[in-house]
Amino acid sequence: MFKAKVFVSLKQSVLDPQGQVITNALHSQGYTSVVETRVSKYFEIMIDTNDKQKAEADLKSICDKVLANPNTESWKYELEGV
């Protein structure tokens, strides 16, 4: 069994309006030292196999085809045995 931790983030060049709204809200509540907020998605995926290579191959394919929009988002993952 493997646990995959997947981060799907907007590419650095893509505007993050949700993050901007949070930054503005924090400023208006007095947290003036916050200069930038970026919002991403984080997935924890349990994969039931003993074959790490297959788990990684599946995971890359899942990130590319299901979890991320390759036009605007990038992804990375960590895979650990559990």
Which spans of this chain sit near a second copy (rule: CB under 8 A)?
Answer: 1, 7, 9, 19, 22, 25-26, 29, 31, 33-49, 54-55, 58, 61-62, 65-67
Between CA 18 and CA 22 the distance in angstroms is 6
Cβ proximity to a second copy: between 1 and 14 the closer is: 1
Nearer to a second copy, 46 or 71 (CB): 46
Cα distance between residue 23 and residue 15, in whole Å: 13
Q: What are the tokens at 37?
A: 């907020």
Q: How far is the CB of 48 from a second copy (least distance, A)?
A: 5
Integer Cα distance of 65 and 9 in angstroms:
15
